[in-house]
């Protein structure tokens, strides 16, 4: 049986349903998934080794034009972000927050779009795209022109 790789990078799309993905030091995906409650998120984070060095989080902003529809919300994304940041600090990991508007560029880079996907499945792929965006823009992973052309086709 092959040696299990330790995660070095962890990317999350936070909320009541939090998508997540991990990569090794070379930027190879190890595993990904979605948790469906704050308790599951806590258990997931507690299960990771302290070897995670970079935690990439889709950041949350309450925009004025969305404030009215968010009225009465329990704000699941900020709650999840608080849990994630606590674990990241315990691991002494670097915390990287990315705005949600990088999604179209990240989807082009990876060729993995969530358009037309069931909402419950999008969280995992959003986390994956945030992680890949980080790894590619930090030149940890290479994205060739041919790869980019293939993603656009």
Q: How confident is the model at residue 114 (pLDDT cuts 50, 70, 90)?
A: confident
Residue 3 domain-assigned (yes or no)? no
Residue 4 domain-assigned (yes or no)? no
> Average pLDDT of the chain?
86
Which residues lie closer than 8 Å to 94 by C-beta, 6 or more apart? 53, 54, 55, 88
Q: How far is CA 132 from each of CA 6, 126, 151, rounded to the nearest angstrom?
A: 17, 10, 14
Residue 1 domain-assigned (yes or no)? no
Beta carbons of 31 and 138 less than 8 angstroms apart: no
Residue 129 domain-assigned (yes or no)? yes
Residue 21 domain-assigned (yes or no)? yes
pLDDT tens digits, 67-93: 555 555 556 787 899 999 999 999 999
**CATH code at position 136:** 3.30.420.10
pLDDT at 1: 45
**Taking CA 70 as the corner, what is the angle to CA 122 and CA 131, rounded to the nearest 5 degrees?**
30
Residue 54 domain-assigned (yes or no)? yes
Residue 65 domain-assigned (yes or no)? yes
Q: Which domain holds residue 133?
A: 9-152
Q: What's the number of domains the chain is made of?
A: 1
């Amino acid at each position: 049986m092959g040696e299990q790789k330790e995660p070095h990078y962890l990317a999350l799309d936070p909320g009541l349903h939090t998508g997540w993905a991990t990569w090794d030091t070379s930027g190879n995906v190890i595993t990904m998934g979605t948790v469906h409650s704050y308790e599951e998120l806590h258990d997931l984070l507690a299960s990771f080794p302290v070897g995670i060095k970079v935690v990439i989080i889709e950041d949350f902003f309450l925009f004025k034009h969305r404030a009215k529809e968010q009225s009465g919300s329990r704000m699941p994304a900020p709650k999840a972000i608080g849990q994630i940041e606590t674990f990241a600090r315990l691991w002494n990991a670097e915390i990287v927050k990315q705005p949600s508007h990088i999604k179209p560029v990240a989807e082009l880079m990876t060729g993995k779009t969530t358009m037309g996907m069931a909402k419950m499945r999008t969280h995992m792929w959003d986390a994956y795209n945030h992680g890949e965006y980080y790894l590619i823009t930090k030149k940890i992973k290479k994205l060739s022109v041919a790869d980019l052309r293939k993603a656009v086709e």
